[in-house]
Amino acid sequence: MNPVLEVSGLWVIGPNGPIVSHADLAVEPGRTLAIVGESGSGKSMTAKALTGLLPSGVHAEGTVAVDGTSLDLAGGARALAAVRGRRVSLLLQNPFTSLSPVHRCGPQIAATLAVARDEVDDEVRRRLAEVDLPERVASMYPFELSGGMRQRVALAASLASDPLVLIGDEPTTALDVTTQREVLDLVARLQRERGMAFVLITHDLGVARERADEVLVMYAGRLVERGPTAELLGTPRHPYTAGLRDSDPPLVERLERLPSIPGSVPRAWEHPAGCVFAPRCERADERCRVDEPTLGGTDADGIRAWACWHPLDDRAAGVVVVTRTSPTDEGAPTRPLVTVGGARRRFRHDAPPALDDVSIVVGAGEAVGVVGESGSGKTTLARCLLGLERLDEGTIEWAADRPRATRAQIVFQDPSSALNPAMTIGAALGEALRAGGQDPSAVPRLLELVGLPVPYAKRRPRALSGGEQQRVAIARAVAPRPDVLVCDEPVSSLDVSVQAQILNLLNELRRELGLALLLITHDLAVARQVVDRVYVMHRGRVVESGAMDRLVAAPQHEYTQRLFASVAGR
Amino acid sequence: MASRLGRGTLGRFVMVRLAATVVLLLALSFVVFALLYLAPGDPARNLLGPRNPSPELLAAIRAEYHLDDPFVTQYVRWIGDVVRGDLGTSIRSEIAVTSLLADRVVLTAELAIMAFVITLVVAVPLGVRAAWRAGSVFDRTVSLASIVGVGAPSYAVGLLLLYLLGVRFQLFPVYGIGDGGLDQLWHLVLPAVTLAIGIGALVFKLTRTAVLGELEQDYVAFARARGLSEGAVRRLVLRNALIPVVTSGGLVFAFLFGGTILVEVTFALPGIGGLLAGSVTFKDIPVVQAITLLTATVIALTALAVDIVTYTIDPRVRARGLR
């Protein structure tokens, strides 16, 4: 079959140089192509170039052929006007911001419907039904709907003009796992019914594995590998693809140490000559540092391609070393450190409570997880434990009567906003040491503990990558030597390859310092790699708790079962 | 099909906000009444003005104004009079404050409304256009002009306009209010333009920022990606940007009503601004009280109007309702 969308020689050039360099891609009707990459890979810019939405100062080169019509991408929005919406449509990441907040959903869907005025209402009703929404949604405003429902409305809106190609830019990343699955199932069904092609842009290898027929891997603005999904992920040829796949934490087993890619993702224009991945690659040699490989080496059918001088062979690519840790007990810890009993908290009278009779216990040196989706109350629980929020009812009892700074410390989701941008790393860590009554001269030791070079003490947070910033935030939290380290979604704003490094660090710190960990996360696989015991929260209540091993093997509660079943790509 | 957000709640919203406004005005009136006591010196002497009173006269004043009654009793009597339309007697001119204010209020209101209309008609479209073409020559030119407009003091702008359009080219009258009716409006054009320049520059900036902010939103990118025409995208953006513009418009009107004083003096207009200036100098406390109360009422009612408009144009506010 001929491709419905074919892009050749795509360049996206920003003020600092190329953001995407020479990308080709094609997708056939009814098929799904996933473009996988981390931050700075250029995957979103590719989507923007194809829909004429590049920001000012950034322009594209190359051609796109849609359904046989060839267009020059350099023409931007004007050149693409003929296909935009009508043949190629876009679904954005955040359903909370992608619809106009002051317009009702019906008119927003109707805006690009090609039907007569008196048929609009019927057609809107039909389109809502197509995405499994009741007709009353037409007269509702976006803020009256849940995230999943909003994304369905957005989907109905992007399909209103019956495009041949739908580009989804992280279309489910902002959604809870259970909702994520529903929306992706819906897209798959619509694709089948309409014979529509889907370009799925995602950072999540699990989603790509499950949904895509073909995968393109991008790194620092380059296409590094391409191939049919199962083949590409089964036997990756490019070391980056292999690293990305292996850093993605598994749910079924707990690894002694997660494979990770050293270093961090470079900015697209910030790389030296040679292969963009060479600085992080174990296989790199002199040639890799001088000569840039092109997407060449292919197999017989020509679909498979990679850009590497030293591709992995079948054996090297297929093997992941798995070391399983010993299973843990189901029961309560022998030495409780902190006990929360019957905790209740309600923020608004007309909303359901954030915490509804929650009881948990964390033992000394134990790693405990609190898992739940948005609105489950998990973050409120963490904040109450730290004294950042008060309980309406219930108790929090600490076994040892110690100063607050040495009881518990927290690591937040977004390290860039958790660190004071005006303070050097050294000053921030020194302050934290003093707060715990420690010697402030221990800053170098602290930096070494979290795997950062000692000279970083003189830098400010802005000069560090996201992963490095999170290491600093962790160092700051462990500086006062707390009994328990609370981590609230500590890796969800980080790239997959960096996420594994941070999870390994948390495991090491716990062993070395004898810390207790309380990990708050929506990501079961992340929890799996760190915690022994887990509490599953849903709408302010703990619905199930027990050893992580047991929950993975045999979840009891209906919600836990649904949560585990929703994890993509496993 | 009816939305969950019934429009029937608008009436209730207005009633509650109105009640809140009345409470606010009562609190303000209390402060205004206290002016008599906050002014330095003996209230009885202050009420007599710069005359040298005999003890008998002072005693008569104290009796007339019930100055020996408890403070709260005096306030209740005063506010009762105010509600009935009796704002006391001017010390300086010895005529009723209400009749003193009547004509002047109309003039100032005309001036403020004219300036407000000029501002909206000119500044809002300019702001929208500048935001839509951010970075263009048009945007940079108007933005630069707006900085001058915000910075230039209104008396200086007034004098410049007077000189150029009044004296040099003799297009507009330079002085006074003319013969009433249309001629009065004609006389108010220059002063209103003077006022509108400073305020308009502010409204331009606010509009530009509001529209720019909306243009960066995801829903605009999403609308374009879906193939909506530029016209349709523009309507989407303007409807959203309207909310901050209405809010700032209300503030601007309230400021205009209290801010006419310099312009009234420059153009020799008998409005309340000029009267306030004279009355403060003369310590004509009943007049100052009346003008302060009047201005406060206009500001409070403007805020009420903004709330009601916001309620009707922002469904999110409507959903939060009266909580």
Name the pLDDT band for B8 (thresholds 50, 70, 90). Answer: low
- This complex has an ipTM of 0.81
pLDDT confidence tier of residue A323, bands split at 50, 70 and 90: low
Instruction: Tell me if B15 is assigned to some domain.
Output: no
**Confidence bin at A325 (pLDDT 50/70/90):** low
Q: What is the pLDDT at residue B5?
A: 45
pLDDT at B236 over 70: yes
How many residues are there in chain A?
570
Q: Which of B217, B315, B319 sits opposite A97 (nearest CB)?
A: B217
Identify residue B256 by its one-letter amino acid code. L
- Chain A: closest CA distance from residue B217 (Å): 7
- Looking at beta carbons, which residues of chain B come within 8 Å of A95? none
Mutant choice from A102, A105, A108, A133 vs B, greatest count of B C-beta within 10 A: A102
- The CATH number that applies at residue B254 is 1.10.3720.10
* Interchain CB distance below 8 Å, A102 and B221: no
> Residue A317's pLDDT is what?
52
Cβ distance B315 to A94 less than 8 Å, yes or no, reads no
Residues of A in contact with B228 (CB under 8 A): 85, 111-112
Tell me, yes or no, whether B6 lies in a domain: no
Spell out which residues of chain A touch residue B5, defining contact as CB-CB under 8 Å: 141
A5-212 matches A336-566 in fold: yes
pLDDT at B126 > cutoff 90: yes
Using the predicted structure, report yes or no on whether residue B4 has a pLDDT greater than 50: no
Q: How confident is the model at residue B104 (pLDDT cuts 50, 70, 90)?
A: confident
Mean predicted confidence (pLDDT) in B37-61: 75
Q: Are B94 and B175 in contact (CB under 8 A)?
A: no
Nearest in space to B268 (alpha carbons), one of B162, B115, B109, B110: B162
What are the distances in angstroms from CA A192 to CA A128, A189, A198? 18, 5, 11
Reply yes or no on whether the pLDDT at A331 is more than 70: no
- For A281-285, B237-241, B264-268, which range has the lowest pLDDT when averaged over its residues? B264-268
With contacts defined as CB-CB under 8 Å, which chain B residues touch A350?
Answer: 323
**Contact between chains at A84 and B240 (C-beta distance less than 8 A):** no
Contact check, Cβ <8 Å, A51/B225: yes
pLDDT digit string, tens, across residues A190-212: 999 999 999 999 988 889 999 99
**With an 8 Å Cβ cutoff, are B219 and A101 in contact?**
yes
Task: Say whether B226 and A85 touch across the interface (CB within 8 A).
Answer: yes
When CB atoms are compared, the residue of A86, A102, A136 closest to B1 is A136
Q: What would the pLDDT profile of B166-178 be if each residue is shown by its tens digit?
A: 777 777 777 777 7
Contact B227 A90 (CB under 8 A): no
CA trace torsion A310, A311, A315, A321 (10° rounding): 90
Contacts of B232 in chain A (CB under 8 A): 111
Measured in degrees and rounded to the nearest 5, phi and psi for residue A273 equal: -65, 165
Residue B315 belongs to a domain: no
Chain B positions touching A102 (Cβ under 8 A) are: 239-240, 243, 313-316
Say what percent of chain A tops pLDDT 90.
50
Q: Which long-range contacts (CB under 8 A, 24 or more apart) does A544-550 make?
A: A545/A360, A546/A330, A547/A327, A547/A328, A547/A329, A547/A330, A548/A254, A548/A328, A548/A369, A549/A254, A549/A327, A549/A328, A550/A330
Q: Mean of the pLDDT values across residues A160-181?
A: 89
Domain count along chain B: 1
Q: How far is CA B114 from CA A446, B254, B259, B274, in A?
A: 67, 14, 14, 18
d(CA B116, CA B111): 8
Q: How many CB atoms lie within 10 A of CB A116?
A: 8
Residue B2 C-alpha, separation from nearest chain A C-alpha, in angstroms: 7
Say yes or no for a CB contact (<8 Å) between B240 and A102: yes
What pLDDT, on the 0 to 100 scale, is given for residue B6? 47
Among partner residues B3, B135, B226, which is closest to A161 by beta-carbon distance? B226
Are A89 and B226 in contact (CB < 8 Å)?
Answer: yes
Q: Which residue of A has its CA nearest to B2?
A: A139
- Residue A506 CB coordination number (10 Å): 24
Inspect the interface and report whether the beta carbons of A102 and B228 lie closer than 8 Å.
no
Minimal Cα–Cα distance from B38 to chain A, Å?
A: 43
A interface with B, Cβ–Cβ < 8 A, is: 51-53, 56, 77, 81, 84-86, 89-90, 92, 94, 97-104, 111-112, 135-136, 138-141, 143-144, 154, 157-158, 160-161, 350
Higher pLDDT among residues A56 and B181, named by residue:
A56
Residue of A nearest to B232 (CA): A111
Chain A residues touching residue B222 (CB < 8 angstroms): 90, 92, 98-99, 154, 157-158
Q: Which CATH architecture has domain A5-212?
A: 3-Layer(aba) Sandwich (3.40)
Q: What is the mean pLDDT of the segment spanning B113-141? A: 93
In total, the C-beta contacts within 8 angstroms joining chain A to chain B are: 94
Q: With 90 as the cut, is the pLDDT of residue A55 above it? A: no
pLDDT at B273: 83
Query: Would the CB atoms of B226 and A90 count as touching at under 8 Å?
Result: yes
| Mean pLDDT within A314-325 | 55
- Note whether A56 contacts B243, CB cutoff 8 Å: no
d(CA B129, CA B120): 14
pLDDT tier for residue A332 given thresholds of 50, 70 and 90: low
Cα–Cα distance for residue pair A431/A419, rounded to 1 Å: 12
DSSP code string of A379-413:
HHHHHHHTTSS--SEEEEEESS---HHHHEEEE-S
Alpha-carbon distance A159 to A166, whole Å?
8
Q: Specify the pLDDT at position B3.
A: 42
Contact A90 B239 (CB under 8 A): no
- CB pair distance less than 8 Å for A112 and B240: no
Of B3, B236, B323, the CB nearest to A139: B3
Alpha-carbon distance of B154 to B177, in angstroms, equals 19
Interchain contact, B4 vs A140, CB within 8 Å: yes
Question: Residue B1 — pLDDT band, cuts 50, 70, 90?
Answer: very low
Nearest to A154 among B4, B222, B315 (CB): B222
pLDDT in tens, B58-98: 888 788 777 778 888 888 888 888 888 888 888 777 788 88
A521 near A492, Cβ under 8 Å? yes
Spell out which chain B residues touch chain A, with contact meaning CB-CB distance below 8 angstroms: 1-5, 135, 217-219, 221-228, 232, 236, 239-240, 243, 313-316, 319, 323
Phi, psi (deg, nearest 5) at residue A60: -115, 155
Q: Report the pLDDT averaged over residues A361-383.
A: 90
Evaluate whether the domain defined by A336-566 bears CATH number 3.40.190.150. Answer: no
- Please count the other Cβ atoms lying within 10 Å of the Cβ belonging to residue A532: 20
Tell me the nearest-neighbour CA distance from A173 into chain B, angstroms: 15
Contact between B226 and A104 using a beta-carbon 8 Å cutoff: no
Domain residue limits at B173: 106-281
| Chosen from B139, B219, B234, B320 to mutate, greatest number of chain A CBs within 10 A | B219
**B224 assigned to some structural domain:** yes
CA distance readout (Å), B295 to B26, B256, B288, B298:
14, 10, 11, 5
Choose the mutation target among A66, A97, A141, A347 for the interface with B, i.e. most B CBs under 10 Å. Answer: A141
Q: What's the average model confidence in pLDDT over A80-105?
A: 90
Pick from A167, A230, A231, A232: which is nearest to A200 by CA? A167
| Alpha helices (runs of H) in B216-320, residue ranges in sequence order | 218-225, 230-258, 261-266, 272-281, 285-313, 315-320
Range scoring the smallest mean pLDDT among A211-225, A335-349, B42-56, B144-158: B42-56
Q: What are the residue boundaries of the structural domains of chain A, listed by start? A: 5-212, 233-325, 336-566
Q: Are residues B222 and A89, on separate chains, in Cβ contact within 8 Å? A: no
* Nearest CB neighbour to A102, from listed B1, B221, B239: B239
User: Cα(B187)–Cα(B182) distance, rounded to whole angstroms?
Assistant: 9
Check pLDDT > 50 for residue A444. Answer: yes
Rounded mean pLDDT, A68-73: 89
